[in-house]
Amino acid sequence: MPTEHPLKAFAFCPHCGSPLFKDDGPRSKKCGNCGFNFYLNPAAAVAALITNHKGELLLTRRAFEPQKGTLDLPGGFAELDETLEDALKREIKEELNADIENIHYFTSQPNRYPFGGLTVHTLDSFFTASLPNNSQLCADDDVDSFVWVAANNIDLQKIGLPSIRKAVALWITKTAL
Ligand SMILES: [Zn+2]
């Protein structure tokens, strides 16, 4: 996993092109030519904890890197001008061809997501949700397949992304209460 600070990739001022684009604190750079200040913020991402009538959790298998082949939750990045809830509904439609309902905020976790040789710092928001009766799921997009697993049968070591693993661990703890 790349550990270099993501601002290292920004060598030139995106406003005027000057190479006098220098660190200005842990998450910003400032241009010595035009004064432009660039702030790095986490990318908003969403994931769903979907359960069925037996209380089993829906886990997906990642079709692509990073962590290809490991277990995951369905979800993805929010787009510009989109709410978290709309991002979640869109991602579940793209990945599983399903329309989720009963969406409730559960928890959040920061994550570092290696992408294209850079580290993308994300802020993942997790929501519980359910599916309408007789939903027919179909794995698509960046999901290879899916499986329903009871809370006491989930092997956290098979979940590749650390933020997903932490959220599922919390969900298991709350489910056991
Ligand atoms: Zn500049």
> The sheet that has 21-23: what strands, in order across it?
21-23, 28-31, 37-39
Q: How far apart are CA 147 and CA 9, in angstroms?
A: 38
Following CA atoms 159, 161, 162, 164 in sequence, which dihedral angle do they give, to the nearest 10 degrees?
Answer: -70
Between the CA of 38 and the centroid of ligand 1 the distance, in Å, is: 10
- CA-closest candidate to residue 161, choices 76, 40, 44: 76
Between the CA of 65 and the centroid of ligand 1 the distance, in Å, is: 35
Residues 68 and 15 placed together within one structural domain of the fold: no
With contact defined as beta carbons under 8 Å apart, do 71 and 159 qualify? yes
Residues 22 and 86 placed together within one structural domain of the fold: no
Q: How far apart are CA 102 and CA 170, in angstroms?
A: 19
> Is residue 154 in some structural domain?
yes
**With 80 as the cut, is the pLDDT of residue 2 above it?**
no
**With 70 as the cut, is the pLDDT of residue 3 above it?**
no
Domain around 14 = 6-39
Between the CA of 34 and the centroid of ligand 1 the distance, in Å, is: 4
Residues 115 and 134 placed together within one structural domain of the fold: yes
Between the CA of 28 and the centroid of ligand 1 the distance, in Å, is: 13
> Is residue 117 in some structural domain?
yes
Which residues, chain by chain, have CB under 5 Å from ion ligand 1? Answer: 13, 15-16, 18, 31, 33-34, 36
pLDDT one-digit tens code per residue, 133-172? 878 888 888 888 899 999 999 999 999 999 999 999 999 9
CB burial of residue 125 (10 Å; 0-12, 13-18, 19+): buried
Between the CA of 18 and the centroid of ligand 1 the distance, in Å, is: 5
Between the CA of 123 and the centroid of ligand 1 the distance, in Å, is: 28
pLDDT one-digit tens code per residue, 49-68? 999 999 999 999 988 888 88
Following CA atoms 102, 104, 109, 113 in sequence, which dihedral angle do they give, to the nearest 10 degrees?
Answer: 30
Between the CA of 29 and the centroid of ligand 1 the distance, in Å, is: 10
Largest distance between two CA atoms of the chain = 62
The reported pTM is 0.89
> Is residue 1 in some structural domain?
no
Between the CA of 21 and the centroid of ligand 1 the distance, in Å, is: 7
> Is residue 75 in some structural domain?
yes
Between the CA of 4 and the centroid of ligand 1 the distance, in Å, is: 23
Residues 26 and 50 placed together within one structural domain of the fold: no
Between the CA of 30 and the centroid of ligand 1 the distance, in Å, is: 8
Residues 145 and 130 placed together within one structural domain of the fold: yes
Residues 138 and 58 placed together within one structural domain of the fold: yes
pLDDT for residue 22: 96
Residues 100 and 172 placed together within one structural domain of the fold: yes
CB burial of residue 177 (10 Å; 0-12, 13-18, 19+): exposed
Tally of domains in the chain: 2
> The sheet that has 143-149: what strands, in order across it?
71-72, 57-62, 143-149
**With 70 as the cut, is the pLDDT of residue 1 above it?**
no
Between the CA of 35 and the centroid of ligand 1 the distance, in Å, is: 6
